Amino acid sequence: MKKNRLGEFQELVLMTVIILQDEAYGNEILRNLEERLQERLSMGAIQAALKRMEEKGFLTSVWGEASQKRGGKRKRIYQATPEAMNALQEMKDIRSDLWQAMVLLNPNIG
């Protein structure tokens, strides 16, 4: 939980990347997330999150294949690094700690 922390949106994108595995490229991530969140997102938001996380070392990427649908341009496939997995785990632990604390105060929430 030092300087390289995940933003809330970044966390969602990161988990989507992990789920999508070999299909984790820009448009696919966007489509997937939109479906889950039931709202329209902008391509810029997704791309900015991806690039930020790559800068921080949570993601790596390699060129994928091109397709005609993409006007002959190659995809960039993203993959989470072990640091990303640690960060996600950390976030999850903090959340569950907080939930427990909340439930203790008010059992109805649980």
Partner 1 sequence: MPHQDQGQYPPSWAVRLLRFILKHEFSEEVEGDMEERFVDNLADFSYGKARWLYIRDVVGMLRPVLLKRLFSQNKTNYGMWKNNIKVAWRQMRKHRVFTTIKLGGFSVGIAACLLIALYAQHQLTYDQHYADQDRIFRLVNQWSENGETGYWANVHGPLKEVLEDNIPDMESVARVVLWPWGDGGENQIRRVEEDFNHYEEGFFYADPELLEVLEVPLLSGSVSTALRSPNTMVISRSKADQYFPNEDPIGKQMRLNDNPETTYTIDGVMEDFPDNSHLQGDFILTLAERKWGPGTTGWCCTNYHMYVKLRPLADKRIVEQATGAMRNSLIIDKLRNAGQSGLEEMQQYQSYYLQPVANIYKDLEEVGDGLPHGSLELTRLFIVIAIIIVVLACVNFIQLSTASSLQRAREVGLRKVVGSSNTGLMMQFLTEACLLSIGATTTGLVLTLLALPFFNDLTQLTLVLPWATWWFLPTMGLGAIAIGLLAGIYPAYHLTRYRPVDVLKSRSSGRTEATAMRNGLVVFQFAATVVLIISAIVVHRQFEFFMNVSLGYDKEQVINIVGLETMDKSRRLSFKEELLKLSAVRDASFSNFLPVEDAAVQNRSFWVTSRRQIDNGVEAAHWTVDEDYIKTMGMKMVSGREFDKGMDNGDAIIINQRMADVLRLDEPIGTQLTDMFDEKSRVIGVVQDFNFESLEWEVRPLVMVFGPTAATLSVKLATEDVSASIAMISAVWDQFNGRQSLRMHFMDQRFAAMYDSISRMRTVLMIFAFLSVLIACLGLFALSVFMIEQRAKEMSVRKVLGAGVVKIFALLTFDFVKLVFIAIVIALPAAQLVMEELLHDFAYRIDLDWLIFFIGGLIAVLIAFVTISVESLKAATANPIQRLRSE
Residue 102 in tokens: 């909340």
Q: Does position 38 bind partner 1 by CB under 8 A? A: no
- Of residues 3 and 69, the one with the C-beta less far from partner 1: 69
Closer to partner 1 at the Cβ: 22 or 109?
22
What lies within 8 Å, CB to CB, of 70 at 6+ separation is none
Residue 3 in the binding site for partner 1 (CB under 8 A): no
What residue ranges bind partner 1 (CB under 8 A)? 25-27, 30-31, 42-45, 47-48, 51-52, 55, 66-71, 73-76
